[in-house]
Structure 1
Amino acid sequence: MKFKTQLILIPILCISTLLFGVFTSNGQSYTQNENVKQLSLEEALTLAGAKNKWIDIDRTEELAAQADKKDARLMALPQFEAKASYLRYSNLSVYEDGLSERNSAPRYPTPNEASLGLEGIFNVYSGGRIKAIQEQQSVKTNIASLNVKERSGSIKLQATSYYLGLIRLYDLKRFTTDQLKRAELRLKNIKTLYKNQKVTKSDVLRAEVMLSNVQLDLASTENDIRISGQKLAVLLNLPQSTLILPKDSAAMIKPSADELEALVKTKGEGAFNILRSDQSIALNQSILKLTRSYNMPTLNLVTAYGFNYPNFLFKPAVDQMYAIGFVGIKAQYSISSLYQNKHKVAAAKWRLNRAEKEKEAQLDDKLQEIESYYIKYSEALNRIGVNQKSIQQAKSNYEIMSTKYFNQLALLTDLLDADNLFQGSRFNLVNSQVEAMMIYYRMLYSTGRL
């Protein structure tokens, strides 16, 4: 039976050792070209807000919306139009008795005609149409600004996730390095016991497999650090070869649960989707005003002045240039708007009603989401305290099992289980600390504070 176990464990050990060599060689070749950059979490968030390409794209759209808003303001100004023309007429052909007799004569009083003038239109009243268009464009500008803030918050939340993930991975690397030292020392002691015929070859092989697995875990963690670092570097618009080292640790100061109560009391009214709903309501209100304006008459002040040639004001026409101008009022009303615009107004009202109901539904969902984060944050803080105690217990258990095993009072399986339990308890503490911070930043984003 022992011989069969040895046959199974030997190929596993060889494959594990080969894979570890591949992983470590790749990791070493990469780190030679890396640029090291130390960042705290706040520094990473500041850099993300200032350098991220997606945020810059949204800022460009915001500038475009601001330009459209300025253009809409110009609609209230008078419209002036300069006109100039020159025409050269052919001879006049006159036909009698069908097309059989044709007589030709020059155009009277001259074959030339020219005009040069300036026209102006000033809107006096249009049912609030211009104001509604300006309000609509102002809302679109606010939406573009909100998109920048929301994108910034989203990118910062993503950067927080990558940064805290790096903290978790660096701690895991530290824990795995410690476990590797324990595995190497344990294998050395077991080989000594085997030479003294205190343990079987199976224990030696099992310890070697355990050592190889830890080596593989360490190599895998180093690769995960490289991948996560690349993701964070791209997010911060840094070269992918940048090796980011977190200044903060999982044990960074965390806000108390009481501090998060202020965020709960906001009821999510500052959340990005709620602010977007407010802008949606304002946009639909301006659309309704604009639609209704087409039911109203328009009143414009018109004026013109120009030079004309020849003079057709006299009969017969005179071969001379004259200048003339006028000022007047032009009123228009579309009677067809009484029946053509009715359903458009009704559709605008329904869409406004939908936007108002949507905001109410989103407020309910947002409040539930924020309260859930508050509950989970309190739970995470409690889990941190429990895991801190578990580490001491798991460490004591490992020391006891190690003493028992090397005194032939316990099995190697029990010792390895104790080692894994100690390793897991340390990592669970880091996980709970990182999760608490992640919940806190999710809550900040959810309330529009990130």
Structure 2
Amino acid sequence: MLVIFLAGHSACLFAQVNSPAGFNVSLSEAVQFAKSQNKWVQAARIEQSAAGEDRQDAYRAALPTVNVSGSYQRFSDLTLFTEGLSHSTTGPRRPTPNAAAFGVDALFNIYSGGRQRAFQKEQTSRLGLAKINAEDQSGNIALQTAGQYLDLVRLADLKKYIQDQLKRAQTRLRNINALYKNQKVTKSDVLRAEVMLSTVELSLQQTDNDIIIANQKLDVLMNVPDSVRVNPTDSAAMPKPVPDSLLQLIERSGISSYSVRKAAENVEIQRARVRGIQSANMPSLAFYTAYGLNYPNYLFFPSVNQAYAVGFVGLKAQYSISSLYHNKSKVAAGKLRVKELELQQQATADNITTDVKSYYIKYIEALNRIAVNQRSVEQSQVNYRIVTTKYFNQLALLTDLLDADNLLQESRFNLIRAQTDALTIYYHLLYTSGNL
């Protein structure tokens, strides 16, 4: 069923929406599914396709321009005036009151100073920018999906530990009631144990609600109905990449990052614009031709009531002298903007490198925090067993027992948080370096 789910067969998916077990999905499967099905990613890919069509249009613009035209006219009688407007005579238009024309003409650009190639280069860079934007959007959605999945994992593990705490609280309350009946403890101990049990039950209810909300957010990212229940198959204790395996990502982050790659494409776009502006300073040469059928024959005098066909081929050369001073500032401004974008690219690369190194340091710190919290959990478990034994042997107060219980629960929560935080930092590092 998971294969069907990930394959995107919506009919099978919807048929299983009400399944109480839900769908078992791993972290990598959730990320890959969201990268292919998320609406924002689909919109970015549509824009990429549109940019591809714009690039095709730029290359087709180099093809000859061909026009077909036709016309027909019916003239009225001709009125001639003499001696001002006092005398007039009327007669038919010679040689015929009818006129018609049909022709084909074509224009092919031979040379225009590189304007066409500059435009093609600009559209190619825009297509590259659209591709990177789509990859960036896909990576961003993958990062959000990973974060939401890990939040769901954290809540699932949290619920498991709260259920364990609930069992401890129920058992503790029964034992304290037994001690109270034997007049071994006071009523205040019973009341405090009941309050503790109510608090744990409320925490369990809150966690259940948080799981529902997190599941709905994950459904939106994966573009599936919000009634679909996703069951994470990975836990917070899933294997973490070793820090040494991330060094190569850090070294290439100044090149592979989405932001740096987009900045590089913007530089190329501006350079192509400058070449397009500079092309206005160059002469242009074009081949043009036409062939047509005309009626009547106006080539002779007087005109003849007959149709004729004629065509021509030729070259057209043009040079704008005014471009020498009209484009001077435009070219200068364009070159300055190229330098500006180059500096922005360098600054972006510096910032990305700093961010990636920061995530790397925090990732190592998170791994160390996991080891520390694992020891804390072991120590708090031993401490809880000791204090429990002391309390029921009347050697410790209930306050000490509840503090030991809270300490155990807090150490477990801290371990879950440290484990999920490490994975969250890892995915931030992947996205920032352009590898998600």
- TM-score normalised by the shorter chain: which range applies? over 0.9
Task: Mark the CA change 1:335 to 1:400 in structure 2 (over 3 Å): closer, same or farther.
Answer: same
Q: Distance in 2 between matches of 1:155 and 1:203?
A: 51
Shift in Å, 1:185: 0.8
Written as runs of structure 1 = structure 2, the 5 A alignment for 1:35-434 is 36-434=22-420
Spell out, residue by residue over 1:393-434, the C-alpha distance to the aligned partner (whole angstroms, 9 max, x if none): 111111122122222222222211111110011111111111
Q: Aligned AA for 2:120?
A: Q
Spell out, residue by residue over 1:328-385, the C-alpha distance to the aligned partner (whole angstroms, 9 max, x if none): 1111222332222222222211221111000010111011101101101111111111
Q: Distance in 2 between matches of 1:71 and 1:227?
A: 46
Spell out, residue by residue over 1:70-128, the C-alpha distance to the aligned partner (whole angstroms, 9 max, x if none): 11111111111111111111122222333222222222211111111110111011011
Aligned partner of residue 269 in structure 1, secondary structure: helix
Q: Aligned AA for 1:217?
A: S
Q: Distance in 2 between matches of 1:280 and 1:87?
A: 53
Shift in Å, 1:55: 1.0
- Runs of 4+ residues deviating >6 angstroms: none
Q: Which moved more, 1:126-135 or 1:260-269?
A: 260-269
Q: Distance in 2 between matches of 1:65 and 1:424?
A: 53
Q: Which moved more, 1:112-121 or 1:170-179?
A: 112-121
Spell out, residue by residue over 1:186-206, the C-alpha distance to the aligned partner (whole angstroms, 9 max, x if none): 111111222222222222111
Spell out, residue by residue over 1:269-314, the C-alpha distance to the aligned partner (whole angstroms, 9 max, x if none): 1000001001001100111111111222211111111111111111
Q: Which moved more, 1:434-443 or 1:98-107?
A: 98-107
Q: Aligned AA for 1:279?
A: E
Instruction: Give me the identity figure in percent.
Output: 51
Counterpart position of 1:9 = none
Aligned partner of residue 61 in structure 2, secondary structure: helix
TM-score w.r.t. structure 2 length? 0.93
Tell me if the contact between 2:18 and 2:228 (Cα under 8 Å) persists in the aligned partners: no
Task: Mark the CA change 1:132 to 1:218 in structure 2 (over 3 Å): closer, same or farther.
Answer: same
Shift in Å, 1:33: 7.0
Q: Distance in 1 between matches of 2:296 and 2:129?
A: 56
Counterpart position of 1:444 = 430
Q: Which moved more, 1:85-94 or 1:214-223?
A: 85-94
Aligned partner of residue 268 in structure 1, secondary structure: helix
Q: Aligned AA for 1:341?
A: N
Aligned partner of residue 59 in structure 1, secondary structure: helix
Tell me if the contact between 2:41 and 2:137 (Cα under 8 Å) persists in the aligned partners: yes
Tell me if the contact between 1:268 and 1:446 (Cα under 8 Å) persists in the aligned partners: no
Aligned partner of residue 385 in structure 1, secondary structure: helix
Q: Which moved more, 1:336-345 or 1:214-223?
A: 336-345
Spell out, residue by residue over 1:243-287, the C-alpha distance to the aligned partner (whole angstroms, 9 max, x if none): 111111111111111111111111431000001001001100111
Structure 1: 5+ residue stretches without partners: 1-30
Q: Aligned AA for 1:435?
A: D
Tell me if the contact between 1:268 and 1:370 (Cα under 8 Å) persists in the aligned partners: no
Structure 2: 5+ residue stretches without partners: 1-16
Q: Distance in 2 between matches of 1:143 and 1:221?
A: 43
Q: Which moved more, 1:261-270 or 1:416-425?
A: 261-270
Q: Distance in 2 between matches of 1:91 and 1:279?
A: 66
Shift in Å, 1:320: 1.1
Count of aligned residue pairs for this structure pair: 420
Q: Distance in 2 between matches of 1:398 and 1:89?
A: 111
Q: Which moved more, 1:157-166 or 1:347-356?
A: 347-356
Task: Mark the CA change 1:433 to 1:439 in structure 2 (over 3 Å): closer, same or farther.
Answer: same
CA RMSD of superposed structures (Å): 1.4
Shift in Å, 1:38: 0.2
